[in-house]
Amino acid sequence: MKLTFAELSELRKKKLTPEVRAKISTKAKLRCQDPDYRDRISRALKGHSVSIETRAKLSIATGRRHHSVKTKQKISETVKKVMSNSDIRQKLSNSNKLRWKNLTDDGKRQWMERLRASCQKSPNGAELALYEIIQAVCPGEYKYTGDLSVVIGGLNPDFTNINGQKTVIELFGDYWHKGEDPQERIDKYKEFGFDCLVIWEHELPDVISLLSKVREFKPAARSVYVNC
């Protein structure tokens, strides 16, 4: 028997006992384990922005929470294995570029907010090592922006010049950027008037060479204001 909207509203107002809540929760979790049900939910949510809070609630409701170190390690190993495939990385890149292109300004803002909330708030060890080298050559000229505080044409540079030049420095991790052509990244920044220096992670131990490389990266100054 179907209930009217008024009857449903009255039911929602009634306080449910812990036992009833537990039964509802169990049934909901069992329902969410059904692939067909999850597929229907996925298709229904496509094209709709879902907040971080809602995603967290959905994760709890479906029981898909991964707290153990062992489980997290398995996920990490699986992700690394998948992302080591250059074809898969390229497909993901093309998919994200197309999605970004079709988003509204508000959609892009929400996407960047979700990414910013999920990423680390501080640079990792390799980025810190490179930052020290940059500071030694160009003190006060570059700021760490790998936290998504600066986005140029959909790209997030690791270090951005804040001293009047449209220049950025990218650190390519040997694992995550394996097989990538740095020139593609350089050309992309060039489309927006920025010069880019790409440094590979395996170059970090050779400090003397890196100091010279950063020192020689002195493109013609083009005035720009970077808000970061």
pLDDT computed for residue 107 by the predictor: 78
Contacts 24+ apart (CB under 8 A), 22-29: 25/61, 28/61, 29/61, 29/62, 29/63
The architecture that CATH gives domain 125-216 is 3-Layer(aba) Sandwich (3.40)
Q: What's the whole-number average pLDDT of the chain? A: 77
- Is it the case that residue 144 has pLDDT exceeding 90? yes
> End-to-end alpha-carbon separation of the chain, Å?
58
- Is it the case that residue 63 has pLDDT exceeding 60? no
Q: Please tell me the pTM assigned to this model.
A: 0.52
Instruction: Give the integer Cα–Cα distance in Å for 180 and 208.
Output: 25
Q: What are the residue ranges spanned by the domains of the chain?
A: 5-61, 69-118, 125-216
124-139, pLDDT tens digit by residue?
Answer: 889 999 999 999 999 9
Decide if 143 contacts 228 (C-beta within 8 A). yes
